Amino acid sequence: MQILVLYHSRNGHTRQTAEAIAETIRNVGHRVTIKSVIEVRQADVEQADLLFIGTWVQGFILFGVKPAAADLWIPALPTLTGKSVAIFCTYAFNPRRSLSKLTNLLAARGATVIGQQAFQRNHSTDGAGDFAKRILATLGYCVICCVPDFVEVCSQHQTLHKIGY
Ligand SMILES: Cc1cc2nc3c(=O)[nH]c(=O)nc-3n(C[C@H](O)[C@H](O)[C@H](O)COP(=O)(O)O)c2cc1C
C-alpha cells in the first residue's frame, strides 16, 4: 500500500508519534510519505490507499478539549472522499473527546475513520508501532510484511497470521 502520514504539531510530540508510525509501516514494507498538514498536496492524498492523521489537543474553558486549530487545517486539507483514515493525538493530561471530535470533522471531509489512539506527550512514541500494525491488520495486511490477505496466509509468517494478530 501507499500510506500517507499527516501531522499537526507545534512542539514536536505529534511529529515524533507520526515518525514512529511511519517507521513501523516502512519496516513492514509499505510505501510511506510523511508530511505536516500544511505541506500536504492533493496528489499526496489521491495516491494514498490509507492515511494516518494526527494532531495535538488544546483545551478551552467553555468548549472543552479539541483537536488544536482544527477549524484552520481540516478545511484546508485536500478532499478525503473515499479515504480510510486512522487518527491519533498527543496530549498532556487528558484528551477527553478530542478524537471523536476529530472523527466527526474528518468524516465531514469524506473520510472513513477506521481506528484511533491517543498518546501521552511524555511517551509520544510508546505503542505507536503497535497502533500502526493494528490498523494494517484491520485492513487484512500482515503486520510483519506487506502481504495483503492473511486469510491466504503468507507462508513466512504463518504463526502470527493464524493467531489473527
Ligand atoms: C495552549 C495549549 C493548550 C493545551 N491544552 C491541553 C488540554 O486541554 N489537555 C491536554 O491534555 N493537553 C493540553 N495541551 C498539551 C498538548 O496537547 C501536548 O503538549 C501535545 O503533545 C503538544 O503536541 P506537539 O508537541 O506536537 O505540539 C495544551 C498545550 C497547549 C500549548
Residue 113 contacts residue 75 (beta carbons within 8 Å): no
Residue 30 dihedral angles phi and psi, to the nearest 5° = -85, 165
Q: What is the pLDDT of residues 130-165, one digit of tens each?
A: 999 999 988 988 888 887 766 545 666 665 554 444
Instruction: Return the bridge partners of 5, or none.
Output: 34, 52
Return the ligand 1 atom nearest residue 59 CA.
Answer: 8
Residue 111 contacts residue 102 (beta carbons within 8 Å): no
- DSSP letters, 47-88, are H-SEEEEEEEEEEETTTEEEETTHHHHHHHSPP-TT-EEEEE
Q: Out of 14, 57, 66, give the residue to mutate to test ligand 1, the one with the largest number of ligand atoms within 8 Å of its CB.
A: 57
Q: What is the CATH number of domain 2-162?
A: 3.40.50.360
pLDDT of residue 141: 87
* Residue position matching grid coordinates 516502512: 26
Residues 6+ apart with CB under 8 A from 123: none
User: Ligand 1 pocket: which residues have CB below 6 Å?
Assistant: 9-15, 56-59, 65, 90-95, 121
| CA distances from residue 147 to 140, 143, 155 in whole angstroms, order as listed | 9, 9, 10
Instruction: Show me where the domains of the chain are located.
Output: 2-162
* Residue type, position 83, single letter: K
Residues lower than pLDDT 70 in the chain: 149-165
Residue 24 contacts residue 77 (beta carbons within 8 Å): no
pLDDT of residue 29: 93
pLDDT of residue 157: 62
